[in-house]
Amino acid sequence: MTYSFAIGPIELQEFDSEDELINKCKEWNLLSSTATRVKTYQYKRNGITLPCEIVGYVDSMTVVIQFENKQQHCIHPAYLKEMQTSGFGQKSAAAAEVEVTEGADEAGNEAVSEETVIEPAVIEPTPLPPAAGVKTEEKPQEPLKKQEKAKKKAALELPEEKLQMSSTVKEFTTVPNHFSDNDDEVIIYDEVAIEGHELELGEVWSSHSATLKKLELAVGDKVSFEAKVVAKKLTQHPVKYKINNPSKLKKITE
């Protein structure tokens, strides 16, 4: 059975570990500050209640939940929290459900959440026929080059499976986290090589997780790992691709 209301993510950001999932849920106020384990949530809609779990996110305002049939759905964390209250659904039927949809441009830029807006229809006035003997000016065609520039480039097709990769640590930096008083620590890599593929990713990035910190990496260190590559732009940096769930981490020594 599938749910027709579900809005699946185009681009899912998975958690590097259970600790990251717990910390994110605390930032979204979906877990108490003292919680040490994840929990199952209830999705409520039109009189039905469906158990679900949080499996990732699109951005800081869009949580991705998964139902028992493995179908995924995007939702605002505050709205999911409201569903956990016993009085949810007993409010006025006029209260609008506020959920978000997720989109990404074809160039693989960062996904943007937006509410669906119904625009009023615009009725164009019917032009009057020209007076007899009056020559009308034809609208010039849009230059071909301008039309070509308006077309978006096709997104780089990324493998869905985990890849064996190696790269060099280029930079350690931080990016703002609107749900926390502290910024998120990240690593930027270059000289990316993917075994069995000729993908030109340029620079990539990852969270500076507790597992990575155990390697005590420094700028210039080479590291190998298995990971998924997703199109996720790093905030405030021109890095378009992220590595998710790296495993079998190893520092390469000459």
Tell me which residue has tokens 């420094």.
218
pLDDT tens-place string over residues 123-161: 455 555 555 554 544 555 555 555 555 444 455 788 888
CATH class of 163-252: mainly beta
Report the chain's mean pLDDT, rounded to a whole number.
78
Give the pLDDT score at 109.
40
C-alpha atoms less than 13 angstroms from C-alpha of 129 in its C-beta half-sphere:
3
Q: Which of 30-44, 137-151, 209-223, 228-242 has the lowest mean pLDDT?
A: 137-151
Closest Cα partner for 199 from 242, 156, 142? 156
Give the pLDDT score at 148.
54
Give the pLDDT score at 203.
92
Give the pLDDT score at 236.
82
Distance CA 32, CA 25 (A): 8
Give the pLDDT score at 237.
87
Q: What is the 3-state secondary structure (H, E, C) of the chain?
A: CCCCCCCCCCCCECCCCHHHHHHHHHHCCCCCCCCCCCCCEEEEECCEEEEEEEEEEEECCEEEEEECCCCEEEECHHHHHHHCCCCCCCCCCCCCCCCCEEECCCCCCCCEEECCCCCCCCCCCCCCCCCCCCCCCCCCCCCHHHHHHHCCCCCCCCCCCCEEEEEEEEEEEEECCCCCCCCEEEEEEEEEEECCCCCCCCCEEEECCHHHHCCCCCCCCEEEEEEEEEECCCCCCCCCEEEEEEEEEEEECC
Distance CA 172, CA 218 (A): 8
Q: Cβ distance 231 to 158 under 8 Å?
A: yes
What percent of the chain is modeled with pLDDT above 90?
30
Q: What are residue 119's phi and psi, to 5 degrees?
A: -85, 140
Angle at 187 between CA 53 and CA 200, to 5 degrees: 95
Q: Where are the domains of the chain?
A: 18-103, 163-252
pTM: 0.44
Sign of the torsion angle spanned by Cα atoms 185, 190, 195, 196: positive
Q: What are residue 141's phi and psi, to 5 degrees?
A: -70, 145
pLDDT tens-place string over residues 57-95: 998 889 999 999 999 999 999 999 999 998 887 654 444
